[in-house]
Chain A
């Protein structure tokens, strides 16, 4: 039987690991973005996730710390929206807001619950960015990652294997953005010159799945 559960603490650990990866790869992401964008993705994401972790820490020491998945991710999403600045603010913000609102006021997620939350987040990114596969955006990593997660679960895998499969698929999706010509965002103004570079958004998204895989391993 597929499954396992993810506690609120594990979800926080996922966010903490994602934050670490954003800080470690800040220069790398900005370098990717300087090739085809406005050279701010690394600093935007590092600033955003630092603000998220500060918010979570402040909340924990408050009178009534959040105890449900929807409340946690509402905090995460709103913090990103107000602190990131670039398009990744509304995009990652919407991802986490939808992730939370679909989960509801629960203290943890089972495997189908996590799959549904990820799927809802993906739907939010799609609605916000209106990207399609192959547009050279974060969607190119996120969509195959979440498809792989569902496929693994349907085949009876546990959460750890499903998350590992999702990371592998997201990383492959990220790598596949390199030859593409951007059709969305700032990079689309470059036309053909955007080819030959990894998409920074797909790259940060692959880190999000790496963080999930490491947390659930």
Chain B
């Protein structure tokens, strides 16, 4: 599992953002280190603290660094120059809050550094779409060749919001299967069930019918798990 480093001018901001993101992963949590403030409670960033945070969560799978603004980016770049350890470290251009949340959920599912960074960077998509901004919506992965499919009615009062979507991502990551989910009401393109941002972009509400399709060795098992989760209202209906 990759490690995550959160760089912020403010320790309080970083801690709150991490707390918010960790609400999404009830069981396995990725290693997260915070590098925030300039010591003695000052607002600011410190490249040596970023470097130490990277070492703290270093993993052969890599480390993704999520930053707030300005000197956080410069300090993180400088930290890479100080570092001598092994393993890839990548600075993500993801938005701080949304990107961190997507990164935590995706990393917890055991996804690769590439996949986590991609999800984090796409994390502004649902907000852009919701507010009708002209930016292109989240990149949708190509549809898997579905061998099996089920249609499930969403019973959660609040629809497929972030917590159940995150549960689905982490539950289905355990199966050797490619699973996609489409919202039959909106008739939008299917999205990967590995993608929190993709699932959120479905805009699925209570009563919507989801078409869950799977291919691969464990496709039927994955669909059975998805069926249990959706029918059971993700434990909150």
Contact = CB atoms under 8 A, between A and B. Distances in A.
A161 interface: no
A34 to B, nearest CB: 14
Interface in B30-50: 37-39, 42-49
B42 A85 contact: yes
Contacts of A89: 38, 44-47, 71, 75
Interface residues of A, number: 20
B18 interface: no
Interface in A87-113: 87, 89-91, 93-94
A85 B78 contact: no
Nearest to B46: A82
A81 B48 contact: yes
A83 interface: yes
Nearest to A81: B47
Interface string B47-90: 11100000000000000000000110011011000000000000
A129 interface: yes
Contact of B75 (A40, A90, A129): A90
Interface string A31-45: 000000010100010
Contacts of A186: 70
Given A91-B74, A94-B78, A186-B70, A86 B44 contact: yes
Given A90-B71, A185-B70, A85 B46 contact: yes
Contacts of A94: 78
Given A89-B44, A89-B47, A186-B70, A83 B39 contact: yes
A128 B70 CA distance: 11
Interface in B162-207: none
B78 A90 contact: yes
A205 B47 CA distance: 21
A38 B68 CA distance: 15
B70 A85 contact: no
Contacts of B39: 82-83, 85
B71 A86 contact: yes
A82 to B, nearest CB: 5
Nearest to A87: B71
A99 to B, nearest CB: 15
Interface string A63-91: 00000000000000010011111110111
B47 A90 contact: yes
A81 B39 CA distance: 11
The list of the 8 closest CB pairs from A to B, nearest first, reads: A85-B44, A85-B38, A87-B71, A90-B74, A90-B78, A81-B47, A82-B48, A85-B42
Interface of A: 38, 40, 44, 78, 81-87, 89-91, 93-94, 128-129, 185-186
22 contacts: A44-B44, A78-B48, A81-B46, A81-B78, A82-B47, A83-B38, A83-B39, A85-B38, A85-B43, A85-B44, A86-B38, A86-B44, A86-B70, A86-B71, A87-B74, A89-B44, A89-B71, A93-B78, A94-B78, A128-B77, A185-B70, A186-B70
